[in-house]
């Protein structure tokens, strides 16, 4: 947000450190925004280091898509419409396509959309910040597009070396941020229901892991992990502060 408050150009690029821009991908993104006023932001075609397509695009999360994604086995979940729709598994990314929520690893935004507000909501310091940003772009009546000719290599998980050390806390942080996102954009009722579902789910998993640890089917470390997840989620133990870290737009003026 501090960088955004000092930006002067018409467009602002959010780019992760684990990405490589291929040739003139950024120029193509600028050109598209120049020609299409309905576009509030654009992203590119993400590629793995070996050049294969990286499907890293989503629709906005819904109550049903989060339930099917997290509460059902993958073999079942990925056959159901809510999950398939959320991950855009049946969409063609070989052509220009509207995407509600491309990954924040590379997204170019019209600066004018956020002249009177922070670009990123600091209540989402690591997870769901990009989802929130995209949702706010759509709330302004604009759309987001992915350009297949703008190619970006994305070396996933290489951007944060501390992630493995804090995997337990980051895991909980993800779900807490999900609840906060639903609270902000879909109301307290859905957020409350989602929190109840996950609370019950984590509690049941802890009990199952306890029984399996007693029977020797799981290690006690696995049970302790499940119990800690339940406790941290229930008590809302965030890893990252929700207070502005770099200063709000008002502080920087």
Mean pLDDT across 95-108? 95
Average pLDDT, the chain: 87
Q: How far apart are CA 191 and CA 24, in angstroms?
A: 42
Do 44 and 151 form a contact (C-beta atoms < 8 A)?
A: yes
Average pLDDT over residues 178-203: 92
Q: Is the pLDDT of residue 175 over 80?
A: yes
Q: What's the pLDDT at 251? A: 39
Instruction: Calculate mean pLDDT across residues 29-35.
Output: 97
User: Of 46-55, 70-79, 167-176, where does mean pLDDT reach its minimum?
Assistant: 167-176
Q: Does residue 242 have a pLDDT over 80?
A: no
* Mean pLDDT comparison of 23-32, 197-206, 214-223, 244-253, highest-scoring range: 23-32
Calculate mean pLDDT across residues 134-143: 97
First-last CA distance in the chain:
12
**Structure confidence at residue 166 (pLDDT):** 55
Alpha helices (H) in 78-214, listed in sequence order: 81-86, 129-139, 167-185, 188-214
Can you tell me the distance from the alpha carbon of 222 to that of 76, in angstroms, rounded to the nearest whole number?
A: 24
Ordered DSSP codes for 103-137: -TTEEEEEGGGGTTS-SS-TT-SSSSHHHHHHHHH
pLDDT above 90 for 97: yes
pLDDT greater than 70 at residue 157: no
Share of the chain above pLDDT 90, in %: 59
Please tell me the predicted confidence (pLDDT) of residue 162: 42
Task: Classify residue 196 by its DSSP letter.
Answer: H
Half-sphere exposure of 1 (CA within 13 A, CB side): 23
Domains (range + CATH), the chain: 2-55+93-159 (3.90.550.10), 164-234 (no CATH)
Work out the percent of the chain whose per-residue pLDDT is above 70: 89
pLDDT at 158: 47
Q: Report CA Rg, the chain.
A: 20
pLDDT value, residue 82: 95
Structure confidence at residue 42 (pLDDT): 98
């Amino acid at each position: 947000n501090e960088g955004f408050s000092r930006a002067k150009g018409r467009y602002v690029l959010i780019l992760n450190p684990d990405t490589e821009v291929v040739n003139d991908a950024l120029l193509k993104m600028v050109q598209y925004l120049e020609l299409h006023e309905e576009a509030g932001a654009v992203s590119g075609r993400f590629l793995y280091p070996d050049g294969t397509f990286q499907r890293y695009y989503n629709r906005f999360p819904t109550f049903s898509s989060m339930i099917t994604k997290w509460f059902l086995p993958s073999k079942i979940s990925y056959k159901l419409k809510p999950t398939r729709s959320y991950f855009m598994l049946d969409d063609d990314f070989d052509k220009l396509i509207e995407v509600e929520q491309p990954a924040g690893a590379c997204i170019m935004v019209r600066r004018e959309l956020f002249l009177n507000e922070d670009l990123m909501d600091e209540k989402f310091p690591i997870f769901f910040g990009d989802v929130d940003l995209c949702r706010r772009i759509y709330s302004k009546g604009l759309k987001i597009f992915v350009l297949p000719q703008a190619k970006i290599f994305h070396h996933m998980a290489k951007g944060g070396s501390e992630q493995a050390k804090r995997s337990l806390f980051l895991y909980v942080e993800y779900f807490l941020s999900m609840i906060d996102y639903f609270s902000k954009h879909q109301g307290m009722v859905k957020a409350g229901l989602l929190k109840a579902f996950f609370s019950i789910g984590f509690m049941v998993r802890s009990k199952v892991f306890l029984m399996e640890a007693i029977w020797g089917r799981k290690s006690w470390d696995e049970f302790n992990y499940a119990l800690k997840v339940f406790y941290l989620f229930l008590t809302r133990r965030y890893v990252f502060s929700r207070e502005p870290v770099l200063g709000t737009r008002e502080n920087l003026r």
